Structure formats: C-alpha cells, structure tokens
Structure 1
Amino acid sequence: MTSTLGYAILAVLARGERTGYDIAAAMRRPVSYFWTARHSQIHAELQKLAAGGLVAFDARHGPGPQDKKVYRLTPEGGDALRAWVTEPPRERPERDELVLKTYASWLADPGLLRRLFAEQLRVHEERLAEYEREEERFGGPPDPGDPRFGNYATLRCGLGYERHRAEWCRWMMAQLSASL
C-alpha cells in the first residue's frame, strides 16, 4: 500500500519526469499549500515507489561526479494514482497547536494572548496576500483537464483557509481586548 506521501510524489511525476531534487522543489510550491515533506522523506519514498514498480528512473550525467536519477511515472503508477484520486481520504487526526493553546487560554494573561494572536494574524494575512497574488497570475481557473487546475483548486482552498484563520484571529483579539 502506497503512503499519502507516495501519492503526492506520483501526482508530481504525473506532470513530467523529475529528479529527486526537482520533486522536493515541486513539493515546496504549490504542493506545500496542502502537503509537506522533507527531502529525506521524499528520497526514501521514491525508493519504495521504485521497488513497487510505480516509478522508474534513468541515471543521467549530473553536474557533480555522480549521475543523477531522473524519475518518471510508470503505467502502473499512473493506474494507482488514478484509482487513489477518487477514493475517500483517510481519516486523520486534527492537530492544531494554536487551537490547543486557545483551549487553555483562560489560564494565560490576556495581553500576552492578544500579542500571540496579533502575530498569528500577521502571518495569515501575509500568506493570504501571497496566495491572492498567485491567484491573480492564474487569471481564472484552468480547464479541469489541465494539470494546472489542481494547482488552482488547491490554491482556492488555501485562500479560504487563510481568510478564515485571519478572521478567527481578529475575533480572538477583539475578545481578549474586551477583557483587558
């Protein structure tokens, strides 16, 4: 059974062959809007995918003394990815440290909490502005058959999340200001 990270890598390779470094770069943007992985995790997962016949690679002359591996999706990998895309997602536990801190916020100084939420608001507003600039570059949604459609659709989800999170931070700040 392939891991979720494995499917993320297959989705990147479905757009074209890449080295492990290129896959890691693609995992930073736009995949990082919704999924993150360290370089070491990606390389370990690539080995599993290759052993399972879902990806293959060619060794090519690289910039250094060693050859580089250029990975590509195999037909079996494409079949596995197409089947996985329409399956319901696995249940996952929610882990949100800020929400957990909010749960215990009644124990803390309201002024310090307000500063915490002001900083979080700044972070979410910056990310929202970045996502809005990215959305402008698209100029509207691509056709659903275009690989960029997935980029746009995940960006839209990120926009909604950042707007919601910023609004929640503003609400928390207002609540905390009222208690000062």
Structure 2
Amino acid sequence: MALRHAVLAALMEGEASGYDLAKLFDAAVANYWMATPQQLYKELERMTADGLIAARVVEQEKRPNKRLHSLTETGRQVLRDFIAEAPKPTVIRDDMLVKIQGMTTGDTPAVEAMLIERRGWAQAKLARYERRRARLLDGRSEPAYLSESAHIGPYLTLLRGIAFEQENIRWAEFALGAVRGRAEATSRD
C-alpha cells in the first residue's frame, strides 16, 4: 500500500487541509499507517498533480491561507481499485525483536529497559485510541454506531489498533517477566 491510498481513504471523511490530515494521521490513521507531515504534504502535491485530489485555497483573516483537499472522481476510482485488490499478508519488521532474538544474559538490563519503554508506548497509544473510540461512539452503543454511521471504516480500523496495542502490552509484560525470571534463575546458579 502506498501513502496515497491511506490519504485517499482519509479523504473519504470529507474535505481536509494538510494540517487536518496530519492531525488525523497522528490520531486515527497511526494505528495502521505512519507518515510524517513532510511526507504527507509531498504526497498531497503529487496527488494533486496526478488528478487524484483537488485543492482549493481558503483565505483566512489573521492566519495564513489554507488549502483544502478533496477527492476527485479519479481518486475515488483509484481507491475503489485498491480496495478490490487482494491484500498482501502483513509482515513484522521490528528492530526490538531482532535485539531480543540475539540477547544474552548480560543484555538483560538493556532488554528490560526496551520492554518497559515499548510497554509504555503501547499504553499511551491505547489510551489515545480509547479516547478516540469514546469520541466516535459519542454515548452510543457500538451496535448503534455501526448501524447508524455513514462510514464505519475509521471505527473498524481503530478497533484493530486497540487490539494491536493491547497485545503489545500483554506480550511486553510476558516477555519482561520471562527476562526477569531468567535473570533471577541465572543469578542463583
């Protein structure tokens, strides 16, 4: 998947500025796709040049003018074509897992620190995702939201992000216990 597909999907929610999209990517899309604001702005320029999105300038008083982006029919078709493609399997590429794979008993303090840090990141992301979930539901039950909402994709991807971070926390706690248990057993020998 290319960044452009993630942008096209995000613009299904409606017209947005680059700043709005950067905030959306940070708050909602980050559970399945990462992009820096610089990458996002460059991609918006390319997508406009390719006719996938249209941009209009909105003049503002006391603030710089902003460009609002929206999908074109060509962009909608590209997104439909992408949706119709069979997805490729997900692969994990994680430097921390390589480090853990190669660790020895002497590496225990460094590995513990990595696991604690990773667990903290996952807990912070999970808290953000849960706040977003509460905003999306806005007091409704999940079944009500799913039956009433015009666009349920953001909620479904958010649930996947929540499950992912819950599993990251569970695994980090298990791995931390295993590393500490191994270190204690080794020190008794």
The answer to whether the superposition gives a TM-score over 0.5 is: yes
Alignment of 1:88 onto 2:81: no
Q: What secondary structure is seen at the aligned counterpart in 1 of 2:85?
A: coil
Match runs of 1:13-162 below 5 Å? 13-63=11-61, 67-90=65-88, 94-106=92-104, 108-137=106-135, 138=137, 139-140=141-142, 142-143=145-146, 146=149, 148-162=151-165
CA distance in 2, matches of 1:150, 1:107: 45
Instruction: Give identity over the alignment, percent.
Output: 27
CA distance in 2, matches of 1:94, 1:112: 22
Gaps of 5+ in 1: none
CA distance in 1, matches of 2:16, 2:25: 12
Deviation of the 1:49 alpha carbon: 1.0
User: Structure 1 residues 130 and 44 mapped into 2: Cα distance closer, same or farther (>3 Å)?
Assistant: closer
Alignment of 1:167 onto 2:165: no
Q: What secondary structure is seen at the aligned counterpart in 1 of 2:104?
A: helix
CA distance in 1, matches of 2:120, 2:67: 41
Higher helix content, 1 or 2: 2
The CA RMSD over aligned residues, in Å, is 2.5
Contact 1:111 1:176 in 2 (8 A): no
CA distance in 2, matches of 1:89, 1:144: 26
Deviation of the 1:73 alpha carbon: 0.6
User: Structure 1 residues 122 and 65 mapped into 2: Cα distance closer, same or farther (>3 Å)?
Assistant: closer
Which residue of 173, 176, 181 maps to 1:178? 181
Q: Could you tell me the TM-score, scaled by structure 1's length? A: 0.83
Contact 2:27 2:128 in 1 (8 A): no
User: Structure 1 residues 48 and 111 mapped into 2: Cα distance closer, same or farther (>3 Å)?
Assistant: closer
Letter in 2 for 1:151: P
Q: Could you tell me the TM-score, scaled by structure 2's length? A: 0.80
Contact 2:96 2:114 in 1 (8 A): no
User: Structure 1 residues 125 and 68 mapped into 2: Cα distance closer, same or farther (>3 Å)?
Assistant: closer
User: Structure 1 residues 105 and 20 mapped into 2: Cα distance closer, same or farther (>3 Å)?
Assistant: same
Per the alignment, residue 187 of structure 2 pairs with none
Number of corresponding residues: 178
CA distance in 2, matches of 1:122, 1:108: 23
CA distance in 2, matches of 1:5, 1:97: 22
